[in-house]
Amino acid sequence: MRIIPAIDIIEGKCVRLSKGDYDTKKIYNENPLEVAKNFEAHGIKYLHLVDLDGAKSKHIVNHKILEQIASKTTLKIDFGGGLKTDQDLHIAFESGASQITGGSIAVKDPTIFEHWITTYGSDKIILGADAQNEKIAINGWQEESTKELIPFIKTYMKKGISYVICTDISKDGMLEGPSFDLYKKILHSCQPEPVEGQNVDALRQAQRDNGIKLIASGGISTFDELPQLAELGCEGTIIGKAIYENRISLKQLENFILNH
């Protein structure tokens, strides 16, 4: 399971919110590059970078910070927040993103999101499936849509999506533990069904090749939760506030990466 720390950006600073509420903003560092370099120094290879200004403005805003981190570290960055147009995507990839995450756009403009999957390939495009009560939330979680979480994911898997970041908004930033039951339900529902006569090894291979690559996000509060998410079958996990509040140390993450 990949360990993916998060950096959320408002006005060029590294912040965290609770349940996506901008009024709960807490600044942890004025220099996101410094934070990213510290992650890299502890053997971390991936970064989830969120442009919260972009999510609010509905277009990419903090691409200079993306460019700075991408050019001055070796971290593979997935970037999200406010990506609405082909131009936004072009800027994100030009600025050094390895992958981008689309959430609201996948609900509001499926045509353009499907065009991105076709153009860039499923390794580059992540579906952001953030949910409240198993309903998809959009626009920086300011709105709840009528889309049901699991059918929404399944629809996009049929269109080629394999990477999915799922945040249970009720858990985000609360340090109360992740939604194990929700992830278990998603993983169970979004795997290829066994074919008649197929042996166990062939089924597992099919699930690895064609099943969901689920990235758990929201609520991670202790180190012990990480092996549990790995055991469930999550492909990655995004960790935010637990790092910044020193609930999980970078040394613990370094050891986890070395031993898995």
- Whole-angstrom distance, CA of residue 23 vs CA of residue 236: 29
**CA 36, 91, 13, 169: dihedral to nearest 10 degrees?**
-90
Which of 17, 84, 88, 81 is closest to 50 using CA atoms? 81
Residues belonging to the active site: 8, 130
Evaluate the CA torsion angle 30, 221, 253, 122 in order and state its sign.
negative
Contact between 234 and 183 (Cβ < 8 Å): yes
Question: Judging by beta carbons within 10 Å of its beta carbon (0-12, 13-18, 19+), is residue 170 exposed, middle or buried?
Answer: middle
- SS3 string of 208-227? HHHCCEEEEECCCCCCCHHH
Backbone angles phi, psi at 4, to 5 degrees: -130, 95
Strands 236-239 and 213-217: what pairing? parallel
C-alpha torsion sign, points 40, 50, 113, 180: positive
**How many residues are given for the chain?**
260
Q: Which two tokens stand for residue 115?
A: 């065009």
Element at 76 (helix H, strand E):
strand 76-80
For 193, list phi and psi in degrees, rounded to 5: -75, 150
Query: d(Cα 220, Cα 175) in Å, to the nearest integer?
Result: 6
